[in-house]
């Protein structure tokens, strides 16, 4: 509030304000005017500059007037392209007071070339705003359940889209249950009804995923899906939401906020459930895998069994007896071989001794011309001269016999 001037009696006490007080007052006035908070302005760009900070400053003007404009760096960065001097544009933003200079400015968050339709501009403005809020961020996107038991569906009960979706769901995955929350999907009432339907489905605890769908239509017919209330309800959904609105080429704000964007209602249904024909193939593969695994296990078992059987055989008492018997046979034959060896050695030694004996025999000496002389009386071998006297009879043995002789002259050699 502006401080009031006080009048008492005839004398008025004029209150004197500071500059910043009046500027703040005007600022509050402008801030309180809703018409100035959400505004489209059309004009020609002049004095366009981008400061080193990244903030953009320019003037918008028509034939008679002009207004200072500011676009903060964060907004300027989101622009596909920035306008140039002299370009005709439509800009969105709000009017506020720049207190430091006592001027009011247009704070721009979006600039489009002039000539685009109003709906398009509103779409771009909302899109830019929600994107800046982070509502489209990839990290907000939730995965869909693999085998949803209950699917919530928001669409018009009269539309072909509903029939298409139910057809796809019953073809692909009839195990699912569907809870339809009917809503008008075009017209004035549509956003509020869609928001209510989403809330009602979110209140159903068994709902695991929601499809928000509408068939193709003009930009105006799809407009409910560009409504901020709908966008926020989609973002607030407790369960993941798939948006399938219009045709392939239609993008709505709800598409950007949804966890998954499907190009059409039919595609949305196909994204939400698996296909039972593919599942049957998977199940058959699992069955084969089970069979293969258990067969491998059985083969292992067989192999182990035969190892065990062999081991058992090796250690059986009968096998032990056979083993001992063989050992005895081995020992016996080794002993026999050893005895035989000894005999052989003895035999060889005997032969060599006989030969030695033969070479030492006195007969051989006699043959070489020696003779053995024995005393004729006592038969003693005469080795020394003094064993005999002259006239003693002796027997002389030569190699082939004996003859008698008488001892004659004696002489000791004194050796």
Partner 1 sequence: VSPGNVESLSFEQAFQELEEAIQQLEAGNLTLEESIALFERGTQLAAHCSKLLDQAELRVRQLVPAPEGGDELAEFRGEAGEEPF
Binding mask 106-145 for partner 1 (x = CB under 8 A): ----------------------------------------
289 is a contact residue toward partner 1 (CB under 8 A)? yes
157 is a contact residue toward partner 1 (CB under 8 A)? yes
Write out the binding residues for partner 1, residues 196-215 only, by CB under 8 A.
197, 200-201, 203-204
Nearest CA among 124, 139, 136, 64 for reference residue 91: 124
Helix (H) and strand (E) counts for the chain? 11, 15
Q: Whole-angstrom Cα distance, residue 187 to residue 126?
A: 19
Q: Whole-angstrom Cα distance, residue 107 to residue 96?
A: 7
182 is a contact residue toward partner 1 (CB under 8 A)? yes
Which residue in the set 36, 179, 192, 405 belongs to the binding site for partner 1 (CB under 8 A)?
Answer: 179
303 is a contact residue toward partner 1 (CB under 8 A)? no
326 is a contact residue toward partner 1 (CB under 8 A)? no
Residue count at the site for partner 1 (CB under 8 A)?
A: 41
Nearest CA among 138, 147, 136, 142 for reference residue 272: 147
CA distances from 373 to 43, 155, 235, 384, 397 (A): 172, 157, 150, 10, 6
Which residue in the set 149, 229, 313, 353 belongs to the binding site for partner 1 (CB under 8 A)?
Answer: 149
- Residue 96: exposure state from Cβ atoms within 10 A (0-12, 13-18, ≥19): middle
Q: Are 109 and 124 in contact (CB under 8 A)?
A: no
291 is a contact residue toward partner 1 (CB under 8 A)? yes
Q: Which stretch binds partner 1 (CB under 8 A): 64-72, 93-101, 277-285, 361-369?
A: 277-285
Q: How many residues does the chain have?
A: 415
Nearest CA among 212, 314, 224, 222 for reference residue 267: 212
Q: Are 199 and 233 in contact (CB under 8 A)?
A: yes
Which residue in the set 178, 192, 219, 372 belongs to the binding site for partner 1 (CB under 8 A)?
Answer: 178
176 is a contact residue toward partner 1 (CB under 8 A)? yes
Closest distance of CB 181 from partner 1, Å: 5
Choice between 96 and 279, CB closer to partner 1: 279
- Residue 304: which residues within 8 A CB-CB, separation 6 or more? none
Q: Which stretch binds partner 1 (CB under 8 A): 74-82, 104-112, 275-283, 398-406?
A: 275-283
Residue 108 pairs with which residues in a beta bridge? Answer: 93
Q: Whole-angstrom Cα distance, residue 302 to residue 296?
A: 10
Choice between 54 and 157, CB closer to partner 1: 157
396 is a contact residue toward partner 1 (CB under 8 A)? no
Q: Are 229 and 190 in contact (CB under 8 A)?
A: no
Closest distance of CB 254 from partner 1, Å: 20
Choice between 70 and 180, CB closer to partner 1: 180
Closest distance of CB 7 from partner 1, Å: 57
Other C-beta atoms lying within 10 Å of the C-beta of residue 163: 11
180 is a contact residue toward partner 1 (CB under 8 A)? yes
Binding footprint of partner 1 on the chain (CB under 8 A): 146-147, 149, 157-158, 162-163, 166-167, 169-170, 173-182, 197, 200-201, 203-204, 276, 279-280, 283-284, 286-287, 289-291, 293-294, 297-298, 301
């Amino acid at each position: 509030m502006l401080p009031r001037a006080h009048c008492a009696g005839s004398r008025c006490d004029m209150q004197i304000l500071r500059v910043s007080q009046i500027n703040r007052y005007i600022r509050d006035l402008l801030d309180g005017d809703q018409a100035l908070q959400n505004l489209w302005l059309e004009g020609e760009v002049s004095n366009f500059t981008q400061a080193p900070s990244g903030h953009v400053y320019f003037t918008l003007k028509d034939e008679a007037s002009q207004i200072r404009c500011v676009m903060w760096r964060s907004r300027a960065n989101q622009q596909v392209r920035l306008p140039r001097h002299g370009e005709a544009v439509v800009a969105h933003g709000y009017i506020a007071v720049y207190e430091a200079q006592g001027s009011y400015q247009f704070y721009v968050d979006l600039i489009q070339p002039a000539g685009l339709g109003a709906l398009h501009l509103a779409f771009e403005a909302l899109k830019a705003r929600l994107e800046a809020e982070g509502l489209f961020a990839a990290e907000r996107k939730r995965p869909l359940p693999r085998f949803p038991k209950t699917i919530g569906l928001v669409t018009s009960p009269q539309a072909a889209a509903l029939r298409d979706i139910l057809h796809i769901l019953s073809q692909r995955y009839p195990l699912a249950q569907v809870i339809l929350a009917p809503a008008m999907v075009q017209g004035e009432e549509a956003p509020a009804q869609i928001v209510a339907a989403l809330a009602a489905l979110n209140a159903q605890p068994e709902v695991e995923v929601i499809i928000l769908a509408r068939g193709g239509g003009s930009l105006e017919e799809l407009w409910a899906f560009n409504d901020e209330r709908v966008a926020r309800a989609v973002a607030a959904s407790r369960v993941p939401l798939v948006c399938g609105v219009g045709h392939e080429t239609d993008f709505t704000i709800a598409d950007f906020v949804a966890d998954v964007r499907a190009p059409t209602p039919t595609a949305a249904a196909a994204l939400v459930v698996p296909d039972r024909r593919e599942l049957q193939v998977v199940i058959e593969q699992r069955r084969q895998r089970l069979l293969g695994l258990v067969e491998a296990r059985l083969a292992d078992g067989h192999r182990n069994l035969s190892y065990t059987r062999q081991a058992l055989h090796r250690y059986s008492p009968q096998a032990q007896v056979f083993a001992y018997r063989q050992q005895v046979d081995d020992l016996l034959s080794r002993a026999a071989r050893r005895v035989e060896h000894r005999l052989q050695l003895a035999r060889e030694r005997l032969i060599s001794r006989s030969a030695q004996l033969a070479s030492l025999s006195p007969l051989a000496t006699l043959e070489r011309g020696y003779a053995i002389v024995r005393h004729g009386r006592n038969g003693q071998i005469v080795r020394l001269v003094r064993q005999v006297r002259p006239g003693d009879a002796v027997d002389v043995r030569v190699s082939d016999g004996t003859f008698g002789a008488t001892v004659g002259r004696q002489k000791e050699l004194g050796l």
